Amino acid sequence: MSHLRQLLEDSNEKIFTSEFPTIDGAGMPRVIALAQRFSPWFDAVNATDNPAAHAHASNTSVAIAMKAHGLEPIMQIACRDKNRLAIQADMMGASLHGIENLSLMTGDDVTAGDEPETKRVFDLDSAQAISIANSLNGGKYLSGRAVKPPTNFYIGAVENAAAPPLEYRVQRAVKKHRAGARFLQLQICYHPDRLENFCRGVASAAPQLHLLPTIVLLKGARQLHFMNDKVPGIDVPLNLISRVEKSLDQSEAAYELALEQARHALALPGVRGLHIADFRHDETLARLMHDLGRIPRTISNQLQEQL
Amino acid sequence: MIKILPFIEHAIKKPIWDCRMCGQCVLHSTGMTCPMTCPKTLRNGPCGGVREDGNCEVDPTMQCVWAKAFGRKESLPLPQSWRDHFNDLRPPVDMQLQGTSSWINLITKRDQQVPAGWQRNTRSDHGL
Ligand code: SF4
């Protein structure tokens, strides 16, 4: 049974997930160094699937490497690049290597990436991909062909609480839950009122669905502008940006904003932890975790053997 | 007649709904808004990329298909039974039906055939 499943289903502990940086060469030493950096703080970490429509080392290969180095993977699968055969193959390949946590998503459009001339696939949507993972858990491929023994996926998905149509977002989350999702990693949300309404709505309509809002660690106003202008589905209110922009110490102001967001999110109904995206790559991650009362876990045994 | 039906269907549905002839029409359950006109062809609701003004992540000049569908589900005078199906979990598109007449597929129930491994309890309860 996956550690993440155990923590979310059988404990009340607050859990923390993150995103493994993309791998573009640099080989296993880089994976090992990153695993070392992530394992004290995170219960499980996403192995991404061509994030923002840029090609990188594949989701499955990175998930296998993470696992081998003592970091529990949550394997992302985006519907943008693969048809239903390839997605089921990804899932079965993951299962073969003992990877059980999935995070299934539609994926940013190809126009968000550096090869916008590519063909968009979107043969499945995220709700259908969730349902298919759930069928594999029930011992069947989509075709009905047997999977013996059945897979044991712990199925997650994503949702953007702040994107229009706002009232629809809760219904869509519930639909994903009906299809088989047990947890949702939420897109970063710079509208606390929207996040709150979403979490309250989900907590009352689907109390078993665990929510993990995202907190992003940024260096200052320039990165906030970037999020607002370039990342699909993210709106950063201008007064928030100028609050950081006008402060004497932008880096400190950006940190305070993230800490405020983290505390607010953790207090909302249905929220079981946080998903943390670190774009600062400095000591701020440790500071945030300390300020949230997270005690670093000892480096996992497997990793110690490697050192 | 059977042979020309797809042409008649397309001639009617193309100008009104920008029909793409997927052959498994769900317009009645999506506020009479065709999900195949979404650039990602999503049949189960909007992606996370919808812009602050409700327009599409991919094509900023058009309203998100699902934002439109969500509004029209209530604003159009549709039977309640159609609205109740708005949040159904729709199965993956059957590519074999592309270009065929959804009217015929409806009558023959061909459009309701799903692969044996597709979970059947996909109807939504209480509109959620
Ligand atoms: S914004 Fe709406 S129309 Fe555009 S790709 Fe996403 S769901 Fe489809």
Domains (range + CATH), chain A: 3-306 (3.20.20.220)
Nearest CA in chain B to A110: B58
Q: B125 in a domain, yes or no?
A: no
Q: Is the pLDDT of residue A228 over 80?
A: yes
Q: B124 in a domain, yes or no?
A: no
Distance from Cα B40 to the centre of ligand 1, integer Å: 7
Which residues in chain A are contacts of B116 at CB distance < 8 A?
Answer: 140, 143-144
- pLDDT score at A86: 98
Under 8 Å between Cβ of A125 and A157: no
Higher pLDDT: B69 or B25? It is B69
Dist CA B122 CA A27 (whole Å): 44
Q: What is the mean pLDDT of residues A73-99?
A: 98
Cis peptide before B46 (omega within 30 of 0): no
> Which residues span the domain enclosing B64?
5-40+51-112
**Tokens 């970037």 identify what position?**
A226
- pLDDT score at B111: 83
Could you tell me if B123 lies within 8 Å of chain A, comparing CB atoms? no
For the residues of A159-183, what is the DSSP string, one character each?
A: E-TTSSSHHHHHHHHHHHHHHT--E
Tally of structural domains, chain B:
1
Cis peptide before A165 (omega within 30 of 0): yes
**Would you place residue B122 in the very low, low, confident or very high pLDDT band (cuts 50, 70, 90)?**
low
Which residues in chain A are contacts of B117 at CB distance < 8 A?
Answer: 132, 135, 140-145
Question: What percentage of chain B carries pLDDT values higher than 90?
Answer: 48
Q: How far off is chain A from B32, nearest CA to CA, in Å?
A: 17
Q: B28 in a domain, yes or no?
A: yes
Q: Is the pLDDT of residue B126 over 50?
A: no
Q: How much helix, strand and coil, in percent to the nearest 5, is found in chain A?
A: 45, 15, 40
Could you tell me if B46 lies within 8 Å of chain A, comparing CB atoms? yes
- pLDDT score at B121: 60
Amino acid at A170: V
- pLDDT score at B109: 84
- Atom 7 in ligand 1: residue holding the nearest Cα: B46
pLDDT in tens, A281-293: 899 999 999 999 9
Provide the 3-class DSSP secondary structure of residue A217. strand
Q: How far off is chain A from B99, nearest CA to CA, in Å?
A: 17
- Report how far apart, in Å, the C-alpha atoms of B114 and of each of A57, A140, B38, B95, B97 are: 34, 14, 22, 12, 12
Q: Is the pLDDT of residue B8 over 90?
A: no
Q: Which of A3-12, A207-216, A222-231, B8-17 has the lowest mean pLDDT?
A: B8-17
* ipTM of the complex model: 0.92
Q: B27 in a domain, yes or no?
A: yes
How does DSSP classify residue B63? B
Q: What is the mean pLDDT of residues A55-59?
A: 98
**Burial environment of residue A215 by CB neighbours within 10 A (0 to 12, 13 to 18, 19 or more):** buried
Q: Are A109 and B57 in contact (CB < 8 Å)?
A: yes
- pLDDT score at A44: 98
Length of chain B: 128
Q: Is the pLDDT of residue A80 over 80?
A: yes
Q: Is the pLDDT of residue A136 over 80?
A: yes
Q: Is the pLDDT of residue A304 over 70?
A: no
C-alpha of B76 from chain center: 16
How does DSSP classify residue B55? B
Q: How far off is chain B from A212, nearest CA to CA, in Å?
A: 16
Q: Which of A106-120, A284-298, B91-105 has the highest mean pLDDT?
A: A106-120
How does DSSP classify residue A101? E
pLDDT in tens, A175-224: 999 999 999 999 999 999 999 999 999 999 999 999 999 999 999 999 99
Q: Is the pLDDT of residue A149 over 80?
A: yes
Q: Is the pLDDT of residue A258 over 70?
A: yes
Nearest CA in chain B to A138: B117
Q: B76 in a domain, yes or no?
A: yes
- pLDDT score at A127: 98
Q: Is the pLDDT of residue A261 over 70?
A: yes
B44 lines ligand 1 (CB under 6 A): no
Under 8 Å between Cβ of A162 and A197: no
Q: Is the pLDDT of residue A15 over 50?
A: yes
Nearest CA in chain B to A232: B49
Higher pLDDT: B112 or A15? It is A15
Number of the ligand 1 atom closest to the C-alpha atom of B46 = 7
Q: What is the mean pLDDT of residues B41-55?
A: 97
Q: Are A232 and B48 in contact (CB < 8 Å)?
A: yes
Under 8 Å between Cβ of A126 and A153: no
Q: B128 in a domain, yes or no?
A: no
Distance from Cα A33 to the centre of ligand 1, integer Å: 38
Q: B22 in a domain, yes or no?
A: yes
Q: Looking at the partner chain, which of A111, A143, A233 has a beta carbon nearest the beta carbon of B50?
A: A233
Q: Which of A71-85, A117-131, A245-259, B2-16 has the lowest mean pLDDT?
A: B2-16
Q: What are φ and ψ of residue A70, in 5° steps?
A: 85, 15
To test the contact with chain B by mutation, choose from A91, A178, A214 the residue with the greatest count of B C-beta atoms within 10 A, namely A178
Q: Are B52 and A179 in contact (CB < 8 Å)?
A: no
- pLDDT score at A47: 98
Higher pLDDT: A26 or A137? It is A137
Q: Are A125 and B42 in contact (CB < 8 Å)?
A: yes
**Tokens 């260096």 identify what position?**
A219
Q: Which of A63-72, A235-244, B102-111, B116-125 has the lowest mean pLDDT?
A: B116-125
Distance from Cα B38 to the centre of ligand 1, integer Å: 5
Number of the ligand 1 atom closest to the C-alpha atom of B67 = 2
- Atom 6 in ligand 1: residue holding the nearest Cα: B47
Tokens of A129: 């991909």
Q: Is the pLDDT of residue B43 over 80?
A: yes
- pLDDT score at B64: 97
Nearest CA in chain B to A129: B92
**Tokens 């799903």 identify what position?**
B114
Dist CA A63 CA A48 (whole Å): 9
**Would you place residue A302 in the very low, low, confident or very high pLDDT band (cuts 50, 70, 90)?**
low
Q: B30 in a domain, yes or no?
A: yes
